Chain A
Amino acid sequence: MVLRPMGFKMDNHSKHIQIQHLTVAYGETVALENISGTLHPNALMALFGPNGGGKSTFVNVLASIIKPTSGTITHQCRTTCSPAYLPQQSTMHRQFPLTVREVVAMGLWGQAGPFHALDPGHQEKIDEALERVGLQDYDQRLIGTLSGGQFQRMLFARIILEDSSLIILDEPFTAIDIQTSETLLQLIQEWHKLGKTILVVLHDLDIARRYFPETILLSKTCLGWGKTEDVLTDHNLIKAYAQSMRTTHHA
């Protein structure tokens, strides 16, 4: 049997996302300097770099949460290109009185919005998403009782339902058990096969090399953008971390 997440159609809508001379500064501090590159449709891309190298800033700009100081980002989507985005430090209330099912159902906001009821078709989609991340027996559990790994699975189920053609994840495997990481990595592979564009911030070289064909290496400036084996070379990595040491030293 072929494992195939249901509720997905092949995604042919996504097109190039072009980033030109992107610079972001917070007051005096420059976080990103003159970044250019293209996210191809169906790219499976890792974003790698030292702490403070501007990775989160970069994805926040892509998700249009931060406005660039200068430079442009051109989305060429036929429909709206709003990405499904999982931030690193979420502003979520983890003890909020909601069940797992209710949180996952939020992924259907695009269809149900603030007023429409969920029909049986929607409920089925929710069931499928829960099953895909292995939370089918937890759907009535309060989110405050979940472990870190289960919480992350729930958020991935919500992303499944959002069914966006661009998915951005910021360090999704931090402080997560190995089994959950495996499940979620498998899910990312499936999204890739379905034609989605995926950008994942990582700090684990091993995961980047094993699962991600393409990588961006950021350390304030862009030190590499392309095939993972060409970008994550010792030479480039030393350069990236040496650069970040210098910046820290100056500060």
Chain B
Amino acid sequence: MLEEFFLNPFDYEFMRNALLSCFCLSLGCGPVGVFLVLRRMSLMGDALSHAVLPGAAIGYMIAGLSLPALSLGGFLAGFLVALLAGLVSRTTLLKEDASFAGFFLIALALGVFIISMRKSSIDLMNILFGSALAVTHQALLLMASITTLTLSVLAFIYRSLVVECFDPQFFQRVHGKGTLYHMLFLMLVVLNLVSGFQSMGTLLSLGIMMLPATAAQFWSRQIWSMGVLSVVFAMIAGYLGLLLSYHLNFPTGPSIVLMAGLFYIISLLVGRFGSVLQHMKNRVA
């Protein structure tokens, strides 16, 4: 009975692929999300996930529904917006968040504009929300590569990223400008958003990145364990979301992200550090 509910769905190859893609995404997105939160850039991820759209749309115009074309286009567009926003904040009076907002809105409108020229809203839905149950081997391979690259680069720049994030002035004094690390990191963010392209879509893959990372803040006060926790949360959310969508015929991507959202809400309420519960306890005591 239990086995039927929890394991049997994965007799199907498409379910196994979907689960594998969730795990892959979780491994890369979890730690990246933690650093986004620590850098106080949670909303930049949002901006970047929109910024990916015109690139993907142009890739679609040129090559149709070809994953490499969509991914490459999306990556280039997202990274271009990140670079432009960074450049503008360094040379003009705008702060980074404002310049990001400006560019991602243009990018988003441009993306929708391009897609609408094909006069089929199904394509738009596909790019925005993905289709987790139709993950191809090619897509899995791409995700695995991006995850491997992400974890390797993160391991390489970990110490610099932590110090630069905690005390940028100190880092600049003892090591030099942090711009390179900032850019490398933004590149990882865009890569991971693109990684979730086919299975989750551009908008929902951000959910896998941010919700578990935010939830992890309430359970741990060390950077590495926050990373581990966010991966675990994301994996469980992926598994439960797939089960729900299989048994109850719910849409897959949103189910997974809603599960991650549930982790966030529960953590927010009863987490070990700084949650609503802790707040109440402190007031009583």
Contacts and interface: CB of A to CB of B under 8 A. Distances in A.
A binds B: yes
Interface of A: 63, 65, 82, 85, 87, 90-93, 96-98, 103, 106, 109-110, 113-115, 142, 144, 162
- Interface pairs A-B: 5 shortest CB-CB: A109-B174, A92-B167, A114-B160, A96-B166, A97-B221
B13 to A, nearest CB: 41
Given A63-B173, A96-B38, A97-B226, A109 B167 contact: no
B167 A97 contact: no
Given A93-B38, A97-B222, 11 more contacts: A63-B173, A82-B174, A90-B167, A90-B169, A91-B168, A93-B40, A98-B162, A106-B174, A113-B175, A115-B159, A162-B174
A162 B160 CA distance: 17
B173 A82 contact: yes
A114 B223 contact: no
A97 B167 CA distance: 12
Contact of B167 (A91, A115, A144): A91
B270 to A, nearest CB: 20
A142 B163 CA distance: 15
B170 interface: yes
Interface residues of B, number: 22
Main secondary structure of the interface of B (DSSP, over half): helix
B83 interface: no
Interface string B136-151: 0000000000000000
A96 B175 contact: no
A114 B157 contact: yes
A142 B176 CA distance: 26
Given A82-B173, A109-B174, A115-B159, A142 B221 contact: yes
A217 B40 CA distance: 39
B228 interface: no
30 contacts: A63-B173, A65-B169, A65-B172, A65-B173, A82-B173, A82-B174, A87-B169, A91-B168, A91-B169, A92-B166, A92-B167, A93-B40, A93-B165, A93-B167, A96-B38, A96-B165, A96-B166, A97-B221, A97-B223, A98-B166, A106-B170, A106-B174, A109-B175, A110-B174, A113-B175, A114-B160, A114-B175, A115-B159, A142-B221, A162-B174
A63 B173 CA distance: 8
B174 A93 contact: no
A114 B154 CA distance: 12
B170 to A, nearest CB: 7
